[in-house]
Every structure is written in C-alpha cells, then in structure tokens.
Amino acid sequence: MEKSPHILVVDDHREIRDALAKYLAKQGYRVSVADSAAAARRSLEVAAVDLAVIDIMMPGEDGLSLTRDLRAKGHLPVVLLTAVAEETDRIVGLELGADDYVTKPFNPRELLARIKAVLRRAHSLPPHSAALPDVADRARGDGKGSERLRFADWILDLARRELLRADGTAVPLSTGEFLLLGAFLRHPRRVLSRDQLLDLTRGRTAQPFDRAIDNQVSRLRRKIEADPKRPSLIVTHWGGGYAFAADVTPAEGVSS
C-alpha cells in the first residue's frame, strides 16, 4: 500500500503549527512539525519528507534562509506562509525557489488545495539528467561556476546566459527563452507537455490556458533551428507537447 505524502510544518507559533498538523492529519497526510529552521533540518535528516510548509517570519533563522538552503541541497517542494504586509518577502521566496505561498490569516482549505497542487505538479515532472547542471538555478543566481552545455552545433553558457554558435558568436536570449531552452536541455529526448514546460519555466505565475510556451518555442526555433519551419531540435508531438531531439553533454571550458 502506497504511503500518504509526508508534510513538514515549520512555524514558531505552536497554535498555528499544531492546528495545521491536526488538520492535515485529518486529510490523510503524515505530518511532522518543527518550531525553527534548526528543528526542521533535524526532522529532514531522519525522515523522508514530500513537502515543507514554512513560515517566513521566525526568530533566528527565518523561513527565507531555510528555503534557500533547502533549494541549494535539493528539490523539496516548499509552500511559504506569509503575512499580508510581506509582499517583498513573498517575491523573494518565489525567486529562491519556493513553489507557492499562502497569506496569513488563511483558510486551511486553501492551504490544502495549494499543497495538493504543488505535490501534483512535482510528481508530474519528469526526472532531469543528474549529470547536467540545473539551468533554473542559474537563472535565479543560485548556481556556482560557469558550466556550459553542448547540443548540436551550439553551446549554452549558463553563467553568461548566452547561446554560442560554433564560431563563438553569441546569440542573446530573453529570460523566457533561456529558461525554456534550459528545461529542454535538462530533459533531452523526453516529451514535455505545455503544462510541464510552464511549471519548469514559470511556476505559479503561469495562468490557465496560457499559450506563452508556444510563442516561446517559435521564437527559440528561429534562433537555433537551421530551418524553423521544419524543426529538427525542438520537435512537436501533437497532443503531447514538445521534445528536444538532440543529445546534451557538458561542454569543456569555462566562460572568459
């Protein structure tokens, strides 16, 4: 029998922490609680957790710092709890890699809906190639070094966020094009649906029925395909999405 998802609730207010734990347990989840970032790390060391609900405002190390650390070490889904006046913190949290947020005071049903959506999204995304650096992390400035990825006659410089031709000529990329190309390079030869590509590139900012992915694919094809009207790198799978049809390898050398 498959185990129910394990949720870690991190909040220094015992009333909120215990109430959430009780509510989520009634919904069938396994729940652990922590009253600080340090306690959360201890919990993560001894138990497999599927998602963390983290309060931003905690004494000592705050929720943003914990989220940054978790994202640097892996891809544990995170939902932040934030006060109404903390718009800047919400934005920073999303930029650090949090998957969603709920504003206090909140309805537990809303938090439950967001937890379900984040878990569903996390489980739907295909595994990426562990041998390749995380392009989304580079876009957020979380990566180290200046790795490059090679495909066909191109090199993507992650540090400079530049696409390089075989002769070294740089082709500028918008942030959207960089993230989209990065998603393809991290999942070569896999069919990615539009929803998956939106999750990989835009997360919670994507809107229902958003067709920005199709436009981004068209623009990216015009930059990397020999014949954009007959693409050989980004291939359309009708009814399924798109797949990157070239091998991707780390390229030797670093940015100058």
CATH of residue 243's domain is 1.10.10.10
Name the residue range of residue 161's domain: 135-251
The CATH code of the domain that includes 12 is: 3.40.50.2300
Residues 109 and 160 in one domain: no
Residue 130 lies in a domain: no
**3 state SS for 127-171:** CCCCCCCCHHHHHHCCCCCCCEEEECCEEEECCCCEEECCCCCEE
Boundary residue ending a domain (76, 95, 124): 124
Residues 120 and 139 in one domain: no
Residue 235 lies in a domain: yes
Residues 140 and 117 in one domain: no
pLDDT of the chain along its 256 residues, tens only? 457 899 999 999 999 999 999 999 999 999 999 999 999 999 999 888 999 999 998 999 999 999 988 887 777 889 999 886 666 777 777 777 788 888 888 899 999 998 998 888 776 655 555 444 454 444 444 444 447 889 999 999 887 888 999 888 999 888 888 888 988 988 888 888 887 787 777 654 444 444 578 888 999 999 999 999 999 999 998 877 899 999 988 886 544 4
Residue 1 lies in a domain: no
Reading phi first (left if > 0) and then psi (alpha if -120 to 50, else beta), residue 203 is in left
Residues 84 and 139 in one domain: no
Based on the structure, what is the number of domains in the chain?
2
Residue 129 lies in a domain: no
Residue 256 lies in a domain: no
Q: What is the pTM of this model?
A: 0.56
Residues 43 and 120 in one domain: yes
Residues 94 and 73 in one domain: yes
- Helices in the chain by DSSP H: which ranges? 14-26, 37-46, 63-73, 87-96, 108-124, 135-140, 175-186, 194-201, 212-224
Residues 110 and 144 in one domain: no
